[in-house]
Amino acid sequence: MVAENAIANAGVASTPDQMRALGGPFTNLSDADFGRFAIESNVWTLSQFLHGEQGALVCTAKIVETVPWIDAKYYASTQVMDEARHVEVFAKYLQDKWGGEYPVNAHLKMLLDDIVSDTRWDMTYLGMQIMVEGLALAAFGFMQQMTTEPLLKKLLRYVMSDEARHVAFGVLSLREYYAELTDAEIFERQQFAFEAGVRMRDRFLQQEVWERMGMNVKEAIQATMAVPERDLFQMMLFSKIVPNAKKLGLLDRNDSWLRRRYEELGVIQFEDLVDTGNEYENFSLEQIAADDAAAAAKA
């Protein structure tokens, strides 16, 4: 089970032999080291989920204060409760099942700092509701499908139900507002969306895991970046971001600036996937109950 979870979380290799075949610092990796890597990868990934939820808790509290519409304040106040519940459950799972957590990754911390420090309410929405939670929704979904641990599988499914609703509301809140902004104002949002996506993608390089295992961090990153499955995992993180950016009108304003950036990243093919506003019902609690009933009927 540990090795299987390593695939889900790290996207590096599924067996010790496959990891040794990467060369570099992995050439002499023992089976025991591979098992330790799988454990550390699990802890690291879940720790970053926790820290992202902590950031969301702070940001949604800020949205309650700054968003100009009372209905949006009502909704944001319910999201504060959601995020507090997510922080609590991830923290408890990490402590009870793994005995602790990793600190926040530097890339994620810089992004959260930028989001929290910006005084414009819509940038908090864009940064947290669309970018951070959109990428988290994709990462949660990937891990939820791959993990074989029943409690984690259920935990992630319930969190995804909340996150999909949050992202959908963010798209709904920003769409009309962005239609009224000038090209210069939209360009700021386009740049932020691109830079935030790159930072979130780079946070999955797991530098802290290699450091804890005593490996050469630069060599470990170079070796893992060469794995085709890693590229697929990195691109799939944008599967929730690109269609939402399109629905917000960010892709094609200013001579398609953001579209061209996403083309360079190799993720523009996701633009016609269903955006979260039309998809969130698939993550609802009612759908969870239906899925559970279907699974029970097959058992």
pLDDT of residue 141: 87
pLDDT in tens, 111-139: 999 999 999 999 999 999 899 888 888 88
Looking at residue 92, what is its pLDDT?
A: 98
At residue 242, the pLDDT reads 92
pLDDT tens-digit series, residues 38-56? 899 889 999 999 999 999 9
User: What pLDDT is stored for residue 259 in this prediction?
Assistant: 98
Query: What's the confidence (pLDDT) of residue 255?
Result: 97
Task: Give 129's DSSP letter.
Answer: I
**Looking at residue 9, what is its pLDDT?**
44
How many residues belong to the chain?
299
Cβ-count burial of 190 within 10 angstroms (0-12 exposed, 13-18 middle, 19+ buried)?
A: buried
Which carries the bigger pLDDT value, residue 5 or residue 267? 267
- In this prediction, residue 299 carries a pLDDT of 64
Q: At what angle do helices 183-202 and 106-117 cross, to 10 degrees?
A: 150
Q: Could you give the CA distance from residue 195 to residue 207 in angstroms, rounded to a whole number? A: 20
pLDDT for the residue 168: 86
Average pLDDT over residues 169-186: 94
Across 60-69, 73-82, 133-142, 152-161, least confident range: 133-142
What is the spatial distance between Cα 102 and Cα 22, in angstroms, rounded to a whole number?
Answer: 25
Is pLDDT at 205 greater than 70 in this prediction?
yes
Residue 157 has pLDDT above 50, yes or no: yes
More confident residue, 11 or 252: 252
- Confidence (pLDDT) at 53: 96
How high is the pLDDT of residue 10? 42
- According to the model, what pLDDT value does residue 5 have? 44
- At residue 287, the pLDDT reads 66
Rounded to whole angstroms, the Cα distance separating 248 from 232 reads: 25
Residue 228: pLDDT band by 50, 70, 90 thresholds? low
Token code pair at residue 212:
């804890």
Could you report the per-residue pLDDT of 242-259, keeping only the tens digit for each? Answer: 999 999 999 999 999 999
Q: What confidence tier does 7 reach under pLDDT thresholds 50, 70, 90? A: very low
Band (pLDDT 50/70/90 cuts) for residue 295 is low
Confidence (pLDDT) at 11: 43
**Mean of pLDDT over the chain:** 86
Mean pLDDT of 200-215: 86
- Amino acid 122 reads D
pTM of the model: 0.85
pLDDT at 290: 67
Q: Do the Cβ atoms of 204 and 237 come closer than 8 Å?
A: yes
Q: What gap in Å lies between CA 152 and CA 143, rounded to an integer?
A: 9
pLDDT band at 201 (very low <50, low <70, confident <90, very high): confident
Q: Which of 116-130, 137-151, 218-232 has the highest mean pLDDT?
A: 116-130
